[in-house]
Amino acid sequence: MKVDQVLNFIDSGDIALPEFQRGYVWNREQVRGLFTSLYRGYPVGGFMTWNTPAEGAAARGGVSTDGTVKLLLDGQQRATSLYGVLRGRAPKFFEGNAQAFTGLFFNVLDETFEFYAPAKMKNDPSWIDVSALMQGSAGVGSLIQPMMQLAEHDNERFATYLERLNNLASIARREMHVEEVVGPDKTIDVVVDIFNRVNSGGTKLSKGDLALAKVCAAWPEARQQFNDTLEVWKQAGFHFKLDWLLRVVNGVVTGKAPFTALANVPVPEIKRGLKLAQQYISAWLDVIAGRLGLDHDRVLFSKFALVIMARHMHNEGGRLPDTAGQNKMLAWFAHTGMWGRFAGSTESVLAQDLEAVDARGVDGLLDLMRQSRGDLVVRESDFAGSTLGSRFYPTLYMLTRTQAARDFGTGGVLSASLLGRLSSLDVHHIFPKAKLYGREFERADVNAVANFCFLTKETNIRISASDPDVYLPNIEADHPGALNSQWVPSDRSLWNLDRFADFLASRRELLAAAANTVLGQLEAGGATSTSDLGRGQGANLAEGEAEPEAAQLRELVAWMLSEGYSEPEYDVEVADPVTGEQLCTAEAFWANGLQEGIGSPVVLELDEASAEDRVASRGYHVFNTVEALRKYVRHELSQA
């Protein structure tokens, strides 16, 4: 089948994408490589399709209304890239980053493909917009005059350029092999198994993908409906994944953790479950933001705990519990994050907690947590973690937002009522990084959670890298009690750089005591705060305060996204996939490879070099510097 025929079939809905396929994951280098190979006549592989009745086919983007439809099992990335470049737009079934195939140009002088760079290509007739050429009704004929001028009326050079353009245009007529999977015995389970086998080096389907595929077989719009729901929370600052939402729906509808529980659930029940899941999760997110001050997902204790909280609300007739019940559930929610309740074997732990919440509600959850830990007491050593990825970073944020912590510059309470461009909360190092690195302290000490506090941006900028024994006394004089409200030890001898280690130990003790007080009040059903907090504005590293590596990582990720790579999770725990043992807290983690579902998981761990061997032995690619990761990505691009 010729390439242009494949594209026509995509337009007509005779070729579509099965719902169980993930989205488009290729990057620009892979697109460039595909077109280079096609232009040179190299083998590029073919397509495998599953021929199935169009009626009831679970496909993205719509299918033809009668007969059969060819669902792509192998070749989605090639088909999407060809369609994106030759048609100049994404196909109907597209889900991914369109920048990967937007703006591909061909140079008639050296026969190379590159993506548009204005400084290099603007007003240069040797660079040809491939999409414009393929879509233009006149085709190569429209470029005869520019090519003549480029050749400076040299007939031999002109003929060469014209031949190259004809070779480029002939890509649309390139024959592509299509292998078809047909027969009444090809159920979705069989087809998914075929898909996983032919994609052994590519995108593998998770349990959630397979479960969603079965749902979509009976409810074709399911994937879009799920993604629309996720978008609502994304706009509010909470980024959840489709697998996670399916677990919430499963928990609400069946009360079970394994996805197999959804197998025989009627579509109307799943639709209702999705609607209820959005209602329940949104309600709890409002409570968590309003009562604990955790207003964005970087400080959200545990996303999987929300599955249990949604089930509990469902058991309560779709209503939130009373204030005392909410407080006890919030205490349990905080404990799940602090102790890594779902960091390991998520499905088995979810199963235990679903059983407990169905049997005895929140009291059953708290008792089960105590059984697994021995007690729920926060100790000063628990605040010994470092980086924004520490489990106790959200705890510090929660204490700041709920216990009337005051800004060092204004003396005002750090609440959601703050207004103005410079009043969003920044992470502040009480002992400045520059001073500590100058004393040769290790990164883990410099970025200890006990060295963090939260301030307004304006105050953070004003303090900058001042010595603590200089600026802390001024704060105490100008705003008495502000330091105490942020759990800064009152012993002034600890404010000296020489006493930094002692300062950390003392502040950890104060933070642990505060955490135990708050959590104890919550568990008893009491109040959490001295003020009525609303939805907050989040906390960020200020530009002047951020680690150089943080800025480098932002720059690297931005470039990677433009090249078609996936965005990582940030400040996340990485666990052994088999035992559930916590291996490290990564600054960035690509759980499914740099491109979704392709390659091994990639970990960026800046603070604990000793973790490299431990994490790598579990099958992860591990990097201890942003520059090392950058080199790896560029190597991957060159190999592509």
Q: 502: exposed, middle or buried (C-beta count within 10 Å: 0-12, 13-18, 19+)? A: middle
* pLDDT of 445: 86
Residue 90 is encoded by which pair of tokens? 């994404």
* pLDDT of 542: 38
Angle value at C-alpha 361, between 360 and 366, nearest 5 degrees: 90
* pLDDT of 579: 62
* pLDDT of 211: 79
Q: 509: exposed, middle or buried (C-beta count within 10 Å: 0-12, 13-18, 19+)? A: middle
Task: Give the pLDDT band of residue 536 (cuts 50, 70, 90).
Answer: very low
* pLDDT of 169: 94
C-alpha gyration radius of the chain = 28
* pLDDT of 71: 85
Residue range 115-126: average pLDDT?
90
d(CA 136, CA 129): 11
**CA dihedral sign of residues 208, 209, 215, 221:** positive
The residue ranking higher by pLDDT, 576 or 500, is 500
User: Pairing relation of β-strands 59-60 and 569-575?
Assistant: unpaired
Cα–Cα distances in Å, from 42 out to 70, 110, 348, 607?
A: 26, 18, 48, 45
The residue ranking higher by pLDDT, 175 or 588, is 175
* Lowest-pLDDT range of 171-175, 446-450, 546-550: 546-550
* Lowest-pLDDT range of 152-166, 455-469, 602-616: 602-616
**H-type alpha helices, 50-93:** 76-87
The residue ranking higher by pLDDT, 381 or 494, is 494
* pLDDT of 283: 95
Give kind and range of the element (H or E) at residue 215.
helix 207-218
Strand partners, 539: 425
Task: Give the pLDDT band of residue 187 (cuts 50, 70, 90).
Answer: low
* Lowest-pLDDT range of 314-328, 398-412, 418-432: 418-432
* Contact between residue 428 and residue 454 where contact means Cβ atoms under 8 Å apart: yes
* pLDDT of 389: 56
Task: Give the pLDDT band of residue 580 (cuts 50, 70, 90).
Answer: low
* Contact between residue 206 and residue 193 where contact means Cβ atoms under 8 Å apart: no
State residue 539 phi and psi, 5-degree precision.
-135, 140
Q: Ranked by mean pLDDT, which of 57-61, 72-76, 452-456 comes out on top? A: 452-456
* pLDDT of 470: 94
* Lowest-pLDDT range of 49-53, 548-552, 578-582: 578-582
Residue range 418-440: average pLDDT?
74
Q: Does 596 have pLDDT greater than 70?
A: no
AA letter at 447:
N
* Lowest-pLDDT range of 224-238, 472-486, 501-515: 224-238
Residue among 296, 290, 300 nearest 532 (CA): 290
pLDDT cut 70: percent of the chain above it: 85
Average pLDDT, the chain: 84
* Contact between residue 50 and residue 40 where contact means Cβ atoms under 8 Å apart: no
* pLDDT of 161: 95
Task: Give the pLDDT band of residue 231 (cuts 50, 70, 90).
Answer: very high
Give kind and range of the element (H or E) at residue 243.
helix 242-254
* Contact between residue 293 and residue 398 where contact means Cβ atoms under 8 Å apart: yes
Give kind and range of the element (H or E) at residue 604.
strand 602-604
Q: Ranked by mean pLDDT, which of 10-19, 151-160, 351-360, 384-393 comes out on top? A: 351-360
CA dihedral 164, 40, 180, 83 (to 10 degrees): -50
d(CA 237, CA 234): 5
* pLDDT of 638: 63
Query: How remote is the C-alpha of 321 from its chain's centroid?
Result: 31
The residue ranking higher by pLDDT, 111 or 622, is 111
The residue ranking higher by pLDDT, 452 or 578, is 452
**H-type alpha helices, 296-345:** 305-315, 323-338
* Contact between residue 431 and residue 450 where contact means Cβ atoms under 8 Å apart: no
* Contact between residue 87 and residue 104 where contact means Cβ atoms under 8 Å apart: no
d(CA 204, CA 604): 23
pLDDT cut 90: percent of the chain above it: 45
* pLDDT of 581: 65
Residue range 401-415: average pLDDT?
89
* pLDDT of 382: 87
Query: How remote is the C-alpha of 447 from its chain's centroid?
Result: 23
The residue ranking higher by pLDDT, 251 or 569, is 251
DSSP per-residue letters across 111-158: TEEEE--HHHHTT-TTEEEHHHHHH-TTGGGGGHHHHHHHTTT-HHHH
DSSP per-residue letters across 387-440: STTSTTHHHHHHHHHHTT-B-TTT--B-STT--STT-SEEEEESS-HHHHHHTT
Residue 70: CB atoms within 10 A of its CB come to 27
Residues in the chain: 640
CA dihedral 162, 167, 170, 172 (to 10 degrees): -110
* pLDDT of 384: 83
Q: Does 70 have pLDDT greater than 70?
A: yes
The residue ranking higher by pLDDT, 272 or 93, is 272
Q: Does 483 have pLDDT greater than 60?
A: yes
Residue range 204-228: average pLDDT?
77
* Lowest-pLDDT range of 199-203, 245-249, 267-271, 549-553: 199-203
* pLDDT of 417: 40
d(CA 292, CA 446): 27
d(CA 51, CA 384): 58
* pLDDT of 72: 86
For the stretch 440-460, pLDDT in tens is 888 888 888 999 999 988 898
Residue 562: CB atoms within 10 A of its CB come to 14
Residue 529 is encoded by which pair of tokens? 């705060």
d(CA 1, CA 530): 70
**Largest CA-CA distance found in the chain, in angstroms, rounded:** 90
For the stretch 92-101, pLDDT in tens is 889 888 888 9
Residue 490: CB atoms within 10 A of its CB come to 11
Residue range 510-514: average pLDDT?
95
Residue 109 is encoded by which pair of tokens? 């002088």
- Helix axis angle for 76-87 and 3-12, nearest 10°, is 90
Residue among 599, 597, 575 nearest 586 (CA): 575
DSSP 204: P
* pLDDT of 31: 93
AA letter at 228:
D
For the stretch 4-42, pLDDT in tens is 999 999 998 889 888 767 778 888 888 999 999 999 999
For the stretch 326-380, pLDDT in tens is 999 999 999 999 998 887 778 899 999 999 999 999 999 999 999 988 899 999 9
The residue ranking higher by pLDDT, 343 or 225, is 225
Q: Does 3 have pLDDT greater than 80?
A: yes
Residue range 601-618: average pLDDT?
74
Query: How remote is the C-alpha of 245 from its chain's centroid?
Result: 14
Q: Does 50 have pLDDT greater than 70?
A: yes
State residue 463 phi and psi, 5-degree precision.
-70, -45
What residues have CB less than 8 Å from 375, skipping those under 6 apart?
none
Q: Where are the domains of the chain?
A: 3-180, 206-373, 380-541, 548-639
AA letter at 504:
L
d(CA 610, CA 71): 47
Strand partners, 74: 48
d(CA 566, CA 508): 37
State in Å, rounded, how far the first CA of the chain is from the last one: 26
SS3 content of the chain, % helix, strand, coil (to 5): 50, 10, 35
Task: Give the pLDDT band of residue 532 (cuts 50, 70, 90).
Answer: very low
* pLDDT of 98: 86
